[in-house]
Amino acid sequence: MRIGKSPLVLVLTLAALSLQCGKKEEVGEAPKEEGAAPAVAYQPTGDEGTITGVVNFTGQPPQRRRIQMDADPVCAQKNPSALSEDVIVNNGKLQNVFVYVKSGLEKYSFSVPSEEPVLDQNGCMYRPRVLGVMAGQNLKIITSDPTNHNIHPTPKNNPEWNVNQPPGSEPIIRSFPRPEVMIPVKCNQHPWMRAYVGVLRHPFHAVSREDGSFEIKGLPPGEYEIEAWHERYGAQVAKVTVGAKETKQIEFTYAAGQAYRPGSLRLMPALVLPCCEKTMARAAK
């Protein structure tokens, strides 16, 4: 009976396609747009401006769910009343929105800061949940928990890795070489643990605080597209012109009904593998 041969051929073909699609580009300099003038290293002039703002939330926010940490007694003991953190709204203001300069800085390059943002695992939750780094900037991952964790970022344009961090171990220092907004980070041992890292080619980003406010300082005067990104409500863009030593205020507003459907539950585009989206977008272009 000649069963099994055809499915094997199919699976190998799919695997080859998927492996090809999943292939990450060579790690190195951030990709530059074709025909773009070479970026010059930015030197502060004292004319830099500031963007401040707030992220509003209208409508009834979803109720925060209790996280069941019973699978790891250490977590349950340390953080007995943990709540979901994907949507945190205080007095109509949305927390944990990543706000960054999406465009307007292409003509400049920026040196990578030596400071290392810290991602802590505390109470079996990531602290902070949302953070930004520059491409190539070190990220310091520490654990304050007396239990095991694994740290597993799942980027699309950066190398993926998965490392175990037992309690009391040395910090893990890693960096992401290519810009990418956003990289989900998860702990597969504690599946409720989620964090998001925004990797940029410049240092101009902020994360909305408990009161929904944010501030981006030190911007060269110019016209910018500012994007706000939220893990559940998606992205919004605002255009703003910042003059010399000027402080501009902008607002973003999310509505309760805007929650998007996770990719895996979409009906269409059904045949597009997420790993191939970039390749297909390029082909379409």
Q: Which residues bind other proteins (CB under 8 A)?
A: 1-4, 6-8, 10-12, 14-15, 18-19, 22, 24, 62, 65, 67-68, 71-75, 84-86, 147-148, 150, 152, 159-164, 166, 186, 188-192, 232, 259, 261-275
Question: Bridge-partner residues for 223, per DSSP?
Answer: 241
In the bound state with other proteins, the residue whose beta carbon lies nearer, of 37 and 267, is 267
Smallest gap from Cβ 232 to other proteins, in A, equals 7
What are the angstrom distances between the C-alpha of 244 and each of 41, 44, 169? 19, 12, 47
- Beta carbon of residue 39, minimum distance to other proteins (angstroms, whole number): 29
- Minimum CB separation of residue 183 from other proteins in Å reads 13
* Residue nearer to other proteins on the CB measure, 42 or 192: 192
Nearest distance from C-beta of residue 262 to other proteins, angstroms: 5
Closest to other proteins by CB, 57 or 100: 57
Nearer to other proteins, 65 or 107 (CB): 65
The nearer residue to other proteins, 6 or 43, going by C-beta atoms, is 6
Place of tokens 């090809």: 20
97 in Cβ contact with 229 (< 8 Å): yes
State the minimum distance, in angstroms, from the CB of residue 92 to other proteins: 20
Measured from the CB atom, the residue of 102 and 190 that comes closer to other proteins is 190
Query: Is the Cβ–Cβ distance between 119 and 176 less than 8 Å?
Result: no
Distance CA 74, CA 39 (A): 50
Q: Which is nearer to other proteins, 45 or 60 (CB)?
A: 60
The 8-class DSSP code of residue 30 comes to: P
Beta strands 139-143 and 118-122, pairing class: parallel
The Cα–Cα gap between 155 and 182 comes to 8
Write out the E strands in the chain: 40-41, 49-58, 89-90, 93-94, 98-103, 108-109, 118-122, 125-127, 130-134, 139-143, 149-153, 163-165, 172-174, 180-186, 194-200, 205-207, 213-219, 222-230, 234-242, 247-255
Q: How far is the CB of 10 from other proteins (least distance, A)?
A: 6
Euclidean distance between CA atoms 239 and 47, whole angstroms: 20
| Minimum separation from the CB atom of position 155 to other proteins (A) | 9
> Structure tokens of 2?
């000649």
